[in-house]
Amino acid sequence: MRVRRAATVVLSSGLLIAASPFAATSAQAAPAVPTVSAKSAFMLDYASGKPVYKKGADTRRQMASTTKIVTAATVLTSPNLNLNRKITIQKTYTDYVVKKGGSSAQLKVGDVLTVRQLLSALMLPSGCDAAYALADAFGTGSNTAARTKSFIGSMNRKAAALGLKNTKYDSFDGISQTGQNYTSANDMALMTRHAFTNPVFREVVKATKYVAVATASNGKKRTYTWYNTNKLLGSYSGAVGVKTGTGTAAGPCLVFAATRNGKTYIGVALNGTDRFTDAAKLLDYGFKSTTAKTMQLRSLPAGAQQD
């Protein structure tokens, strides 16, 4: 990536000397373009949408549970959204997680949770059971299969409305049914930028922990505690999201965001062996900092969901 430096003006012995852009001092030198492990990566300036970094940015790749960014965005842009709407957890949802070996929010059959609670169950522990519950509740049709298919259709229409040319969804959670669940790093960053315009989305994805009190099937209260699988949160100064994903075809993936001094960057790393360091390096490149060199990743509690 070429970086154009503006000429500087230096006051020396009473004379104004225009410095050549080709004679910049080491103190003025632009930060080196980082090398990342991700096969595809992209980062943009949230305010302007201007690209800051690209690597294989238009290559189509599976993105595993980062798909849930779109699940959340589709719910949050639904007409007449009521975040306090109550949804009962069905055996179909929990059986699906067991069958697919998916990440889980450990939802219990018969428990009643609100949409807002399920959004945290979706985005923090990456609950495929929560994704199923939301897709079933916000899709249309006479049965679960029809409603989830309808919801996935809404996800695809959202991508089309945003002009994403290298994106298609065949699932509500990233567990691809046909191998046709893919995006590009560029497209995913644009989708996440869209999602970030919603304050509830931003609130959900920046939390390292969320505690939800649900109504159990016996009428008593059940407390759920979910930890965010995005270890960048609490590790990289200014990190404010967004979502992990891991799959056999997708590899380790991370969609990330950070804000410092009023500047926000959103980035994507797809299929990388060191996704959190990749994210820190890219954010350092944007912020002109060196945080990645000393960053210590937040540890998840024993028994917490990994993704």
Q: What is the pLDDT of residues 196-214, one digit of tens each?
A: 999 999 999 999 999 999 9
Dump pLDDT digits (tens) for 35-64: 999 999 999 999 999 999 999 999 999 999
pLDDT band at residue 9 using 50, 70 and 90 as cut-offs: very low
Q: What is the pLDDT of residue 11?
A: 35
Residue 31, pLDDT score: 76
CB within 8 Å of 91: residues ≥ 6 apart = 109
Which residue has tokens 């699988």?
229
Residue 126 corresponds to which amino acid?
Answer: S
**pLDDT classification of 177: cutoffs 50, 70, 90:** confident
Please report the pLDDT score of residue 6 as a whole number: 39
pLDDT bucket at 8, cuts 50 / 70 / 90: very low
Average pLDDT value for residue range 145-174:
98
Q: What span, in angstroms and rounded, lies between the C-alpha atoms of 104 and 40?
A: 27
Asked if residue 5 has pLDDT above 80, the reply is: no
Query: Looking at the annotation, which residues are catalytic?
Result: 65, 68, 126
- Mean pLDDT throughout 272-277? 97
pLDDT band at 15 (very low <50, low <70, confident <90, very high): very low
CA distances from 71 to 49, 128, 194, 235 (A): 22, 11, 13, 26
Mean pLDDT over each residue of the chain, to the nearest integer: 91
> For residue range 85-126, what is the model confidence (pLDDT) as tens digits?
999 999 999 999 999 999 999 999 999 999 999 999 999 999
Q: At what angle do helices 91-100 and 128-138 cross, to 10 degrees?
A: 140
Q: Where are the alpha helices (DSSP H) in the chain?
A: 68-76, 91-100, 115-123, 128-138, 144-161, 185-195, 199-206, 275-287
Whether pLDDT at 22 is above 90: no
Token couple for 286: 């944007």
